[in-house]
């Protein structure tokens, strides 16, 4: 038998085997066709009007292009999205799952059921992937790994397991993290996270406005060195410019919040740009939330907010006593200044060519999963970014940080993680809230959050 016939035969067998595999994975063999929408694809390309997309039965994008060139596969379901806009699913690079119920922080809340509840809430707000910043228990890996071998039905997880906290210092979640006192302990704790399968290493360097001891430089150096030894990136919570500079010098891979004490200077900007250090998230909505509840916050009556907030949490946020307690924080009048500093600094970093992601620090009390991503987009526009830039930070750029090559942009071969909007988010960023449907791995996720159901 000639070699070419042999290789043809081999090719036929291979096709049969591969075909059998993909048929086994696909539960919707015909796939789904979306058509007649405006495509905002998460890259730097301009929006494409009258676009169409073929989502394969495997949940990935098989084709995307002008609707006039669409060749819908036989047996596919076609959904006409005339007048609608499609963006990639948002990626929140700074969250904490299931650490509060909106009223209190309690390690007993950190259950797989509450993690799933948060992931469904993120998904219902169009956030299709989250990066958890150091407050997970080890059971997160079973949930994450099940997602990665299948087709998730709620937001995808990236996790650092337990982040590294200095003994007596700021950070972590009570009952979850194991504080360290020496460089050796810090390195051993990083080793443990790496052995568990952490996607990256998180650590906290902050003195909480002078009220707690900060992690000493020899320990942050040990954390970064140990992370790199495992091929993992080390991401630091910071507040002060001087800490940011020292950590960048020590080789940190990203900053989990903005510098908020003073303006970033050319030295930091150049160091971050030249070393490829990411501003992983600026968490502007976190800063805004530090003072928003000192009065009746303007969104307390917004159905897009209240859809995910339990009645007793809303009642507390509306109570004058609670507002007075928030306003009595000794730093209450500093918080607006920290927000403005963070906005100014993010603009400077962007103008200086530093790579920027997107994140909210949602999950703790009064910082609401999903809603805060849309508030963050709004804050970015308030800080001087265009809606297109803000959306790109929250999609394609965030996926670049994750090194998730099949997330963040709507291109062939990528997962069909996307949000259908009823109005143009490039014309007004608040239109990111006009969510008609959300797809993860090619399937629509429930938007009904059953507010308060089944929760104590």
Q: Smallest gap, in angstroms, from Cβ of residue 94 to Zn ion?
A: 6
CB 361 to Zn ion: min, Å: 4
Q: Cβ contacts of residue 402 below 8 Å, gap of 6+?
A: 91, 93, 129, 131, 158, 199, 408
In this complex, which beta carbon is closest to Zn ion, that of residue 40 or of residue 99?
Answer: 99
Farthest-apart Cα atoms in the chain, separation: 87
Q: Given the DSSP bridges, would you call strands 77-80 and 127-132 parallel, antiparallel or unpaired?
A: unpaired
From CA 16, how far away is CA 108, in angstroms rounded? 50
Q: Which is nearer to Zn ion, 32 or 131 (CB)?
A: 131
E-strand ranges in 213-366 read 234-237, 254-255, 278-279
39 vs 356 by CB, closer to Zn ion:
356
* Closest listed residue to residue 130, CA positions, set 350, 407, 433: 407
What is the SS3 assignment for 346? helix
**Rounded least distance, CB 260 to Zn ion, Å:** 14
Closer to Zn ion by Cβ: residue 99 or 313: 99
Going by C-alpha positions, the residue among 181, 365, 397, 186 that lies closest to residue 282 is 397
Residues that bind Zn ion (CB under 5 A): 133, 361
Identify which of residues 282 and 361 has a Cβ nearer to Zn ion in the complex. 361
Q: Nearest-CB residue to Zn ion?
A: 361
Burial class (CB in 10 A: 0-12, 13-18, 19+), 67: buried
To Zn ion, the closest distance from the beta carbon of 394 in angstroms equals 17
Helix, strand or coil, per DSSP, at residue 255? strand
Neighbouring residues of 163: CB distance < 8 A, sequence distance ≥ 6: 133, 134, 135, 171, 172, 177, 201, 202, 203, 204, 237
Cβ contact 51:86 at 8 Å: yes
**Nearer to Zn ion among residue 95 and residue 407 (C-beta):** 95
Give least dist CB 318 to Zn ion, A: 26
CB of 382 to Zn ion, least distance (A): 21
Report, in Å, the least distance between residue 96 CB and Zn ion: 6
Pick 54 or 133: Cβ nearer Zn ion:
133
Residue among 235 and 268 whose Cβ is closer to Zn ion: 235
CB atoms within 10 A of CB 218: 11
**Six-digit token pair at 89?**
């699913």
Q: How far is the CB of 390 from Zn ion (least distance, A)?
A: 20
Are 192 and 227 in contact by the 8 Å Cβ rule? The answer is: no
- For residue 396, the minimal CB distance to Zn ion (Å) is 23
Q: Which is nearer to Zn ion, 133 or 429 (CB)?
A: 133
CB distance 67 to 51 below 8 Å: yes
């Amino acid at each position: 038998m000639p070699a070419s016939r042999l290789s043809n035969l081999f090719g036929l067998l291979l096709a049969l085997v591969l075909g059998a595999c993909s048929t086994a994975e696909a539960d919707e063999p015909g796939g789904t066709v979306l058509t007649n929408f405006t495509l905002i694809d998460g890259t730097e390309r301009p929006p494409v009007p009258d676009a169409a997309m073929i989502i394969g039965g495997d949940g990935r994008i098989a084709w995307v292009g002008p609707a006039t060139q669409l060749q819908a596969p036989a047996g596919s379901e076609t959904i006409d999205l005339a007048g609608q806009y499609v963006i990639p699913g948002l990626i929140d690079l700074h969250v904490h799952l299931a650490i509060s119920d909106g009223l209190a922080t309690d390690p007993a809340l950190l259950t797989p059921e509450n993690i799933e509840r948060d992931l469904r809430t993120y998904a219902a707000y169009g956030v299709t992937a989250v990066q958890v910043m150091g407050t997970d228990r080890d059971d997160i890996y079973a949930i994450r790994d099940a997602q990665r071998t299948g087709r998730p039905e709620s937001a995808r997880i990236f996790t650092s397991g337990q982040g590294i906290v200095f003994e007596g210092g700021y950070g972590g979640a009570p009952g979850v993290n194991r504080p360290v006192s020496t460089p050796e302990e810090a390195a051993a704790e990083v080793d443990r996270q790496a052995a568990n399968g952490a996607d990256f290493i998180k650590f906290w360097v902050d003195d909480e406005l002078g009220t707690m001891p900060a992690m000493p430089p020899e320990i942050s150096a040990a954390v970064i060195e140990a992370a790199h030894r495992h091929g993992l990136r080390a991401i630091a919570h910071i507040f002060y410019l001087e800490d940011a500079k020292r950590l960048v010098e020590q080789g940190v891979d990203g900053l989990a919040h903005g510098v908020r004490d003073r303006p970033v200077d050319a030295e930091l900007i150049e160091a971050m740009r030249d070393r490829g250090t990411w501003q992983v998230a600026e968490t502007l909505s976190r800063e805004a939330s530090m003072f928003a509840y000192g009065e009746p916050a303007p969104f307390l009556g917004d159905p897009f907010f209240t859809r995910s907030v339990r009645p007793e949490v809303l009642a507390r946020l509306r109570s004058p006593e609670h507002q007075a307690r928030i306003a009595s924080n000794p730093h209450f009048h500093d918080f607006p200044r920290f927000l403005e500093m963070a906005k100014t600094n993010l603009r400077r970093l962007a103008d200086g060519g530093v790579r920027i992601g997107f994140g909210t620090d949602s999950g703790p009390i009064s910082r609401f999963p999903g809603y805060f991503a849309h508030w963050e987009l709004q804050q970015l526009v308030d800080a001087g970014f265009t809606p297109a830039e803000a959306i790109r930070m929250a999609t394609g750029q965030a996926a670049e940080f994750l090194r998730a090559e099949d997330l963040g942009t709507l291109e062939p071969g990528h997962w069909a993680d996307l949000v259908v909007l009823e109005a143009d988010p490039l014309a007004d960023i608040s239109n990111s809230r006009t969510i008609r449907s959300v797809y993860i791995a090619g399937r629509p996720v429930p938007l009904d959050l059953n507010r308060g159901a089944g929760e104590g």
